Chain A
Amino acid sequence: MNGRRFAIIVFIIAIMFGTVVLVGISKNTPLVIITSMIATTIAVATPLTLGALCGLYCERAGVVNIGIEGTMLGAAFFGWLASIYMNTIFHFPAMPSLIVGVMAAVLTGGLFALLHAVLSITFKVDQIIGGTVINILASGITGFLNRQMFFGAGSVFHGNIPDSPGVLPTIRIPLLADIPVIGRVFIQQPIAWSAIALVIITQIVIFHTRWGLRTRAVGEHPRAADTVGINVIRMRYFNVIIGGLLAGLAGAYFTLESISSFQPDMTNGRGFIALAAMIFGNWTPFGAWSAALVFGAAQALQINLQFFRTLIPPQLAVLQNSYVVGLAPYLLTMVILTGLIGKTIPPAADGKPYEK
């Protein structure tokens, strides 16, 4: 992450936080508002961070994966379904059901990634088309099963949506969470904490292990890697699947951590924003994370402005409209990707199938 990009991030976050502080100042102190913004930002950046890490593993190994969106959606659905099955049909208590749900989501992510790997590595399908196939397939399957299982006549749950086992409980960091006011930042749910841990782990794996070196080798110059005895196909398969597991965890965030229900197409483009975060972060874990935080802040801005809706002064009435504020993350993605980003360098063999 170079200085220029860091400055951009700080500047954008300052603008967004400043807006909310200005709007909410008559109700709360700036410290309370900023704390709340930071806490929301970290939470909503979770699927973006994990999605970006998924893209990072894939692309560092030379496989473009734009199917992250669909992978997350599929994982969100099947994780949620598994937790409900455990809870309602097998009568497990809430917590074990949720854990099984998360595992099912992660597994689903891995399976979608396996499909992408088969398409793009073995069958050498155009990787962007392959990813699009996954997105359409995930949207179709989850939409169909959601209606068939829960709402159709003769469905498993006879048209009654069963009670879901709720969402994952928060985890407090001891001591830090006890600090007055700003302690709130240190109370987050488990997937949010895992995402941060995985950023650090990915940094170590990609840049400080033999696995990472080999991964980068097959992403930059697969022929050279092959010559020194690295199994290009195998490395690509494993990295794409590792990425899929992470995207699966991101999917679990939607239905097991953020809210406890599933809606068709609920990922709403987060998979693509995650890709933009990865590109802006120049294919590095910490870069991707900070970009994910910027997009998260845009979403936190939206959430907090809705919260302070009644306080918005009439001159800024446009900010009261949820559709207008809802544009923020998407516009920001375009602006950052095109105007502010400067030059980014993808891995040299990114998107190219390896022909022996």
Chain B
Amino acid sequence: MTVELLPDLVLCVLLLVVAWSALFASTRRDAMALFVAFGMIVALVWARLGAPDLALAEAAIGAGLTGVLLLRAARKLPVSSARRFDYRRHLGALTFIVVAVSGFAVSIILPSPADITANNIDSPVAAAMSDSGVSHQVTAVLLNFRAWDTFLELLVLLFAITGLRQLFPIEKESLEPARTWQLLVSWTRTLVPLLLLVGGYLLWRGSSGPGGAFQAGALLAAGCVMLRITGMLPPLHWSSFAVRGSVCAGTLLFLCTAVLTHSLGAGWLDYPEAHAGTLILMIETLATLSIAIILTLLVAGERKDLCS
């Protein structure tokens, strides 16, 4: 019993220690590096908790893209000033937190362990899997049973990119580094083909196992970001039709499917059973393209990419 608990204990202690140091590291650079490490540990926790889809997404997004995002932004900010320690502020914050979160903590501690695992209800997902068109449960939920979530999530990405574009006119000409680190260039040459390969595999694999549009899109975006940072990829001009088209492709196909299923079929996003598999694969492919391009623009987008 205690031996089984050991890996969980190690992961939990690591998680808390790294989270603490990511917040309170002495320099901002250390804080950002530790936050990337935090993302990696969270990915391990997802793997331990039986969520390989999440582990893949977290490793690509939480540990990879967020790190690049933070480091690139921090380049343009001044060094943070030294912190003054104010006891009253800290005490106030602590009291507020204890009061705010204690209800939830108590509701976890009070019931006995048996109560927490007792309700082994049969999941309705497993019962409906046969007419979903795919064989992996998480993909079925994302693109069939709760396709609304995925549709709205693509819209959130569109909103983010629109908001980002609005904020650019304030900025002066960006400070793109003239020199690129030689090691980064050669690593990029090695890694990007691999990332493309793995991304494509994850997209294809998503219908029957862990993987799918989000993970594949995040990996492709990581490849594009590396190419863009090293200057091997020219700026993705917003004015070009290809960029705009691929940004909107996923949402548009989703919308068309929704309208068609509403007017011809059973209802909004209620796919006809015979074509569900093909439809899901098409939507996933275009969604991957959209997610990859939008994430690239969000992470590595400069004035040249977004406002020309």
Whether A and B are associated in the same complex: the answer reads: no
Chain B residues near A (Cβ < 8 Å): none
